[in-house]
Amino acid sequence: MLIPFLLTLIFFVWGARLFVMSKNPPPDAMVIEAIGRQWMWKFQHPTGQSEINDLHVPMGQPVKLRIISQDVIHALYLPALRMQMAALPDRYTELWFKADKPGTFHLYCSEYCGTDHSAMDGNLTILSQGDYQEWLTHSGAQQSKVAAGKAIYDAYGCGTCHNEGSTVKAPKLAGLYGRDVRLADGRTVTADEDYLREKIRNPNGNRLAEGYKQIMPSFAGVIPEDDLGRLIDFLKSNTRTVGDAASGEATR
C-alpha cells in the first residue's frame, strides 16, 4: 500500500508544480490584450499595434494574454500550444506561454457563440525576435495604450466633470488608481482595475464615493471593451491632473 501511495504523491507534487507554473507567468512576460466578440478576435500589443484574427508573437519571449469578451462567452484555443482559455464578459482571464518553434498555426474559438462561430478563427504566427521587431516596425505603429486612453478620455468628455477646475462636484481622477476610497456606506475599497471598470460601466451600483451624489451616466453598452481597457490604462498611468497629461507623458 505504501509503494503506490508514494508513487501517487510523486505524480501529485509533479502535477501541482506544473499547475502553479501554468498560472503564474514570469515577471518579464509581454502582455497582449485579447478581446473576443461576435465573431472575431482582436489583439492589442504593448506598443500599440492591433490585429484582427491574427496574432504575431516573438519566439523565446514569455507572452501573457489578458482575455475578455465584449458580448457572450468565447474561448481562445491555440491547438499548436495545446492551450485554451475562456473569454468571459466583464471578467479577465489569462494564459501565458513561451513559444520555441517558429511557424504559422491556427487559432480558434472553441466555445459555441452564435451563428458564425465556425468563422471565428485566425492565425498564430511565431517569429524570431528580429522578425518580430521588423513586423512591429512595418505593421503601422499606432498610439501607445496610454495615449489612446487619453484620446478616449477626451472623446467621451470625462474631463468635463473629473478635471481639476471643473465646476461639477465629481471625484478627481489624478492619482486615483491604487488609493483607498471611502464609500458612502462607510466601506473602504481600493481603486484597482475592477473598481474603475465597474464605476465606469455601472456608476449607479453600490460604490458611490463618500460626499458625492450619483449623477454620472452608465457607460455599459456605450463604450466598447477595448476602449474601456485603454481608458483604464490611462487612468492607471496618471499621477497628476488628467486634463494636463499630454499624450505619452502621463506616466511619471
| Residue 227 is assigned to a structural domain of this protein | yes
Question: What pLDDT is stored for residue 104 in this prediction?
Answer: 92
Asked if residue 131 and residue 68 are part of one domain, the reply reads yes
| Cβ pair 69, 111 in contact under 8 A | no
**Domain termination residue (choose one: 89, 107, 138):** 138
The residue among 79 and 247 whose pLDDT is bigger is 79
CA 176 to CA 167: how far, in whole Å?
A: 19
Question: What pLDDT is stored for residue 250 in this prediction?
Answer: 35
Listed in sequence order, the DSSP H helices in 99-168 are 129-138, 145-155, 159-162
CA 196 to CA 194: how far, in whole Å?
A: 6
Give residue-wise pLDDT tens across range 115-126: 888 888 889 999
Asked if residue 149 and residue 85 are part of one domain, the reply reads no
Which cell goes with 154?
Answer: 477626451
Q: State the Rg of the chain over Cα.
A: 21
**Domain termination residue (choose one: 90, 121, 138):** 138
Asked if residue 240 and residue 153 are part of one domain, the reply reads yes
> What's CA 139's distance to the chain center, in Å?
21
Asked if residue 115 and residue 42 are part of one domain, the reply reads yes
| Residue 69 is assigned to a structural domain of this protein | yes
Q: How far is CA 73 from CA 64, 89, 139, 179, 182, in A?
A: 20, 7, 30, 32, 34
CA 55 to CA 119: how far, in whole Å?
A: 16
Strand, helix or coil at 63? strand
Task: Please name which of 244, 229, 226, 165 lies closest in space to residue 196, comparing C-alpha atoms.
Answer: 229
Asked if residue 165 and residue 121 are part of one domain, the reply reads no
Asked if residue 199 and residue 154 are part of one domain, the reply reads yes
Asked if residue 154 and residue 231 are part of one domain, the reply reads yes
Which cell goes with 140?
Answer: 503601422
| Residue 98 is assigned to a structural domain of this protein | yes
Report the number of distinct structural domains present in the chain.
2
Question: What pLDDT is stored for residue 246 in this prediction?
Answer: 37
Please state whether the predicted TM-score (pTM) of the whole model is above 0.75. Answer: no
Longest distance between any two alpha carbons in the chain, whole Å: 76
CA 68 to CA 213: how far, in whole Å?
A: 31
pLDDT at residue 182 is higher than 50: yes
| Cβ pair 69, 36 in contact under 8 A | yes
pLDDT band of 136, cuts 50, 70, 90: confident
Q: Looking at residue 208, which CATH number applies to its domain?
A: 1.10.760.10
| Cβ pair 122, 55 in contact under 8 A | yes
CA 146 to CA 47: how far, in whole Å?
A: 10
pLDDT at residue 252 is higher than 60: no
Asked if residue 157 and residue 200 are part of one domain, the reply reads yes
User: Taking residues 46-53, what's their average pLDDT?
Assistant: 82
pLDDT band of 162, cuts 50, 70, 90: confident
Q: Looking at residue 37, which CATH number applies to its domain?
A: 2.60.40.420
Which cell goes with 97?
Answer: 506561454
Question: What pLDDT is stored for residue 168 in this prediction?
Answer: 74
For residue 22, which phi and psi values (nearest 5 degrees)? -70, -25
- When mean pLDDT is compared over 94-98, 183-187, 206-210, 224-228, the highest value belongs to 94-98
Q: How far is CA 196 from CA 18, 200, 210, in A?
A: 33, 6, 16
pLDDT band of 181, cuts 50, 70, 90: confident
Q: Which domain holds residue 31?
A: 27-138
Strand, helix or coil at 125? strand
Asked if residue 168 and residue 128 are part of one domain, the reply reads no
The residue among 167 and 178 whose pLDDT is bigger is 178
| Residue 12 is assigned to a structural domain of this protein | no
- The residues that bridge with 151 in the sheet, in sequence order, are none
pLDDT at residue 148 is higher than 60: yes
Q: Which H helix or E strand runs over 17?
A: helix 2-23
pLDDT at residue 46 is higher than 90: no
**Domain termination residue (choose one: 82, 111, 138):** 138
The residue among 102 and 143 whose pLDDT is bigger is 102
Asked if residue 113 and residue 49 are part of one domain, the reply reads yes
Question: What pLDDT is stored for residue 245 in this prediction?
Answer: 39
Asked if residue 182 and residue 133 are part of one domain, the reply reads no
pLDDT at residue 53 is higher than 60: yes
Asked if residue 151 and residue 238 are part of one domain, the reply reads yes
| Residue 219 is assigned to a structural domain of this protein | yes
pLDDT at residue 160 is higher than 90: no
